[in-house]
Structure 1
Amino acid sequence: MMRLIRRKRSFLLVAILGIIFDQLTKYIVVQNFAEVGDTLPLWQNVFHFTYVINTGAAFSFFRGQVDILRWISLIVSFILVIFVWHSPKITLLEQLGYGFILSGAVGNGIDRFLFGYVVDFLDFRLINFPVFNVADVAINFGVVILLICSFTASSKPERKN
């Protein structure tokens, strides 16, 4: 069991640190903004911290479907843990990718279970992008890492014995 944990520790470390960082940043936003909708321009009309609550998924899809989304995030989290835990050979890069995705799913899942919504605050106004949070960044970062893994794995020629 300990050998298995050592082999998967990068996955666990990234997931745990990502969850902590996500929850810490959301806590800081909630504690430092008086009310939802308040904004702090870091670069006027380009990047702001804006306190928003989101009852939907990414980009506010499925708005108001909190019950479904909380269970989806829980199920996805369990599937990711089981998949990584039982994968006989998983590269370090794959561990990192799955760890980032798990941290984002759990981070937003915690918000959905505790509050019924997700706290978003990263507001790129230059490109009129929806407000998002650290968990969303982690999920996207994890997906990019796994895409890189899939392209590098498929681009290597197979050796014939």
Structure 2
Amino acid sequence: MTPVRAGLISAIVTVILDQASKLWLLNVLDLAHRGAVKVTPFFDLVLAWNIGISFGWLQNDNQAAQIALMAVKVIAVVALAIWMARSRTRLATVGLGLIIGGAVGNGIDRLAYGAVVDFALFHVEIAGNTFNWYVFNLADVAIVAGVAALLYDSFLGVPAAKAP
């Protein structure tokens, strides 16, 4: 299998798993009506509609702002796809595929719902105080894993393809 094919497969699988998880949580588990679901003492399923960008930054439900975010996302996906096509290693290509798949998965949410569906919440209680991480989804996990793969690949010593 060529590196580009591996990258495309990772992008497609990411989109499918991300969208399937969100559809299941919204339509089967009905998380919107059920409310928070405690999975473990440190992990809950909660529904959060993210109208901003990563980590909830730039929250704005204005239609022009949403269109601008989508335009930036499209440009980023095209640039990453060009980089993926030029990539020389399977790890970098798969990492780029994960990032592309995550961006596309969250983009589908933005088009379908006007916001990104986030649902995973890690938390810890220390001395009676609860500390929460940001609520995220599988697309976000794929993006972080893709960035980690790119960083790891950059330390392996194989010359990377130039980003567009």
In which range does the TM-score fall when normalised by the shorter chain? 0.7 to 0.9
Residues in 2 aligned to 1:37 and 1:131: alpha-carbon distance in whole angstroms: 17
Once the two structures are superposed, what CA deviation does each residue of 1:63-82 show, in whole Å capped at 9, x if it has no partner?
A: 11422222211111111112
Residues in 1 aligned to 2:31 and 2:111: alpha-carbon distance in whole angstroms: 23
The answer to whether residue 18 in structure 2 is matched with residue 22 in structure 1 is yes
- Indicate which of 20, 29, 32 corresponds to 1:35: 32
Structure 2 matches for 1:45-124, cutoff 5 A?
46-64=42-60, 65-85=65-85, 87=86, 90-124=88-122
Give the strand-richer structure, 1 or 2: 2
Q: Could you say which residue in structure 2 is the equivalent of 1:153?
A: 157
TM-score, with structure 2 as normaliser: 0.83
* Gaps in structure 1 of 5+ consecutive residues: 155-161
- Indicate which of 4, 7, 18 corresponds to 1:8: 4
Number of residues paired by the alignment?
148
Residues in 1 aligned to 2:33 and 2:143: alpha-carbon distance in whole angstroms: 24
Specify whether residues 119 and 37 from structure 1 end up closer, same or farther in structure 2 by C-alpha distance, changes over 3 A only. farther
- Indicate which of 130, 133, 140 corresponds to 2:144: 140
* Displacement of 1:115: 1.6
Once the two structures are superposed, what CA deviation does each residue of 1:30-87 show, in whole Å capped at 9, x if it has no partner?
A: 112252782100013x1001111110111100111422222211111111112222x1
Which secondary structure does the structure 2 equivalent of 1:30 belong to? helix
TM-score, with structure 1 as normaliser: 0.84
* Gaps in structure 2 of 5+ consecutive residues: 125-130, 159-164
Q: Could you say which residue in structure 2 is the equivalent of 1:129?
A: 133
CA contact (8 A) 2:25 2:31 kept: no
* Displacement of 1:114: 2.0
Specify whether residues 42 and 34 from structure 1 end up closer, same or farther in structure 2 by C-alpha distance, changes over 3 A only. closer
